[in-house]
Amino acid sequence: MRKIYTLGFILVTALFTSCGKGGQGELVGAYNKKFNNKKMPRGMVYIPQGKTLIGMSDEDINNSQTSPSKMTSFSAFYMDETEMTNAKYRQFVNWVRDSVALTSVGPTGAPAYFINAKTTPGGATLSSQKNIDWKKVGNGSVLWNDKKGGLSAKFKDMYYTGDDALPGRNELDIRKLRYSYSIVNLDLAEAGRKDPTKKRKDFIESYVDSPDPNNPNQFPSINVYPDTMVWKLDYSYTQNDPMVKSYFNHPSYDNYPVVGVTWEQANAFCVWRTRLYEPVAASRKIPLSSRPEYRLPTDAEFEYAARGGKVKTKYPWGGPYIRNAKGCMQANFKVGRGNYADDGGLYTVNVKSYFPNDYGLYNMAGNVSEWTVTAYNNSAAPLLLDFNPNFTYVAKPSDSKYLKRKVVKGGSWKDIGFFLQNAVSTYEYQDQARSYIGFRCVSSYAGTDIHFKN
Strands 369-375 and 437-438: parallel
What residue ranges do the domains of the chain occupy?
46-85+254-444, 104-177
Task: Please give the pLDDT value at position 55.
Answer: 84
Listed in sequence order, the DSSP H helices in 201-330 are 230-233, 241-246, 263-283, 299-307
Q: Give, as one character, the DSSP assignment of residue 318.
A: B
The average pLDDT across 340-363 equals 93
Among residues of the chain, what percentage have pLDDT more than 70?
86
For residue 18, pLDDT beyond 80: no
Q: Count the neighbouring beta carbons within 10 Å of the beta carbon of residue 240.
A: 17
The string of pLDDT tens digits covering residues 122-135 is: 544 444 445 888 88
Q: What is the mean pLDDT of the chain?
A: 85
Task: Please give the pLDDT value at position 371.
Answer: 98
CATH class (in words) of the domain with range 46-85+254-444: alpha beta
222 phi and psi, to 5 degrees? Answer: -100, 125
d(CA 447, CA 450) in angstroms, rounded, equals 9
Q: Count the neighbouring beta carbons within 10 Å of the beta carbon of residue 385.
A: 11
Query: In DSSP terms, which residues pair with 178 in a beta bridge?
Result: 223
Strands 425-429 and 405-409: antiparallel
pLDDT-derived band at 233 (thresholds 50, 70, 90) equals very high
Would you report the helix, strand and coil content of the chain in percent, each value rounded to 5?
30, 15, 55
The string of pLDDT tens digits covering residues 81-94 is: 999 999 999 999 99
d(CA 339, CA 60) in angstroms, rounded, equals 24
Task: Please give the pLDDT value at position 22.
Answer: 52
Q: Count the neighbouring beta carbons within 10 Å of the beta carbon of residue 246.
A: 14
